């Protein structure tokens, strides 16, 4: 296996942490992984992205070039990075925040709205986004992801994050056999 993943959105959505969690879980599961990140100078609201490469062999070049998976949680991220998705790659968008402009390959999930509805405004959508990714295309052990999440999030938020991850997995699995089209899972 060799997969390049980009998680992109804005500061405050927790995507850098999500990239670190994914890479750490991959390593804990016996894979090779590298994670790089980029973010604007703003603490919240500026552009951010985390790139992760997961492989069963040595990773000879640490920068991702054509992504097998691209998760976009903002319109700016989608517009800026959509062209970097490899042909046939998996495109996941936040259906409330990203207009894919007729991009029929997009898997639309209402990640941010579902997090807010179930867990409140103060919780970032990153862990649910990891769950959606895991449900659609498991790259690493779900058990290793949960262990890593528990070790990375603030202790008082562990239960909420585990529930958000599991709900994300459920939403991701629900999209597997559906054609790419806007979904309405925000009603959960």
Predicted model pTM: 0.89
Superfamily of domain 2-187: Pyruvate-ferredoxin oxidoreductase, PFOR, domain III (3.40.920.10)
**pLDDT digit of tens for each residue in the chain (188 aa)?**
999 999 999 888 989 999 999 999 999 999 999 999 987 655 556 678 999 999 999 998 888 889 999 999 999 999 999 999 999 999 999 999 999 988 888 999 999 999 999 998 888 999 999 999 999 999 999 999 999 999 999 999 999 999 999 999 999 999 886 655 444 444 44
Using CA atoms, how far residue 113 sits from 8, 17, 144, 145, 148, in Å, is 17, 20, 26, 23, 24
How do the domains of the chain map onto residue ranges?
Answer: 2-187
Q: How many C-beta neighbours within 10 Å does residue 124 have?
A: 21
Q: Please spell the DSSP secondary structure of 88-134, one letter per residue.
A: EEEEEEETTT---TT-TTEEEE-HHHHHHHHH-TTS-SHHHHHHHHH
170 SS3 class: helix
């Amino acid at each position: 296996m060799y997969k390049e993943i980009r998680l992109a959105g804005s500061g405050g959505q927790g995507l850098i942490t999500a990239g670190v969690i994914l890479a750490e879980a991959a390593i804990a599961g016996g894979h090779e992984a590298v994670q790089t990140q980029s973010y604007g100078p703003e603490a919240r609201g500026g552009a951010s992205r985390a790139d992760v490469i997961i492989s069963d062999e040595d990773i000879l070049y640490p920068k991702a070039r054509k992504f097998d998976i691209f998760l976009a949680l903002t319109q700016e991220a989608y517009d800026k990075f959509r062209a970097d998705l490899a042909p046939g790659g998996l495109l996941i968008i936040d259906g409330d925040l990203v207009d894919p402009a007729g991009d029929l390959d997009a898997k639309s999930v209402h990640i941010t709205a579902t997090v807010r509805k179930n867990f409140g405004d103060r919780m970032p959508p990153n862990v649910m986004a990891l769950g959606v990714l895991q449900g659609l295309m498991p790259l690493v052990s779900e058990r290793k992801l949960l262990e890593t999440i528990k070790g990375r999030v603030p202790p008082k938020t562990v239960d909420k994050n585990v529930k958000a991850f599991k709900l994300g997995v459920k939403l991701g699995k629900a999209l597997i056999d559906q054609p790419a089209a806007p979904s309405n899972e925000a009603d959960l």
